[in-house]
Amino acid sequence: MAQLNANTPYIGCYIRNKYIFNSDDDGLTEGYIFGVKSMINRPMHFHFQSNFGAIFWQMPLSAFVSSEEFDPLSDDEEKRLSILQTWDCQANNIAVTCFGFLQNKRVDVFCRDEKWRSGKYIFTIDDYEGDLNELNIGYSNDQDSKCYHFIGLDDGNFCIPPNNLLRWHNPDFIVPYKKDDVPKVKIFKEQMTSEDIDRTFGNSPYFFYNNLPEKE
């Protein structure tokens, strides 16, 4: 079933007043992010419950901060957004997962302005093709598609970078690579199948269970 909206973990934070009141208002309003919405070729959007009772629907990530002390990143709101979200949505359908293995792990993010920022993992958003009877106009099922890890940054912002822009920390077994010497890993793009069946001795894929040729 297609899923345009999804629940997220409740995230206590602030929405910047310039997004909900006057554009000259530099204040903040406290509340909770509680949901997310994906629209193809648009930024990821989040739903927010304010402390005065209003719900603000499909707000961009640049609207939110985790602390009253935060780095504005840029005077240009679109540039600020592009630092916090690298790619627009790839489909209209999403799933939200909180991976236990990554819970509260420290992570470094390489942002579009070519600066490293650090933070902590919260949850992951992944988009996908919906109803197979619908025309597929997205690219979420491509081999090089991206997921979105929701990270709370130390500078008071949130970001949702893909895997290839992250350097994770886990004292149990990780020795992080040097930031100026990123490993040259490849993107796995092969389309594989687990149904590589030799039908030489019969048309049924189950033929070989009882009719294997004798080994010489």
Domain span at residue 47 reads: 5-183
Question: Tens digits of per-residue pLDDT, 31-85?
Answer: 999 999 998 889 999 999 999 999 999 999 999 999 999 999 999 999 999 999 9
Residue 207 forms part of a structural domain: no
Whether residue 159 lies inside any domain: the answer is yes
Please classify residue 49 by burial: count the beta carbons closer than 10 Å to its beta carbon, then call 0-12 exposed, 13-18 middle and 19+ buried.
Answer: middle
Looking at residue 180, what is its pLDDT? 85
| Beta pairing class for 106-110 and 64-65 | unpaired
Tell me if 206 is assigned to some domain: no
pLDDT at 91 over 90: no
Per the CB < 8 A criterion, the answer to whether 31 and 47 are in contact is no
pLDDT at 167 over 60: yes
Element (H, E) at 16: strand 5-16
Number of structural domains the chain divides into: 1
Q: pLDDT tens-digit profile of 103-124? A: 999 999 999 999 999 999 999 9
Does 201 map to a domain?
no
Chain segment 169-203, per-residue pLDDT in tens? 998 888 888 888 888 877 777 777 777 666 655 55
- Cα–Cα distance for residue pair 126/145, rounded to 1 Å: 9
Transcribe 90-153 into DSSP letters.
S-SEEEEE--GGGTT-EEEEE-TTS-EEEEEEEEEEEEE---TTS-----TTSTT---EEEEEE
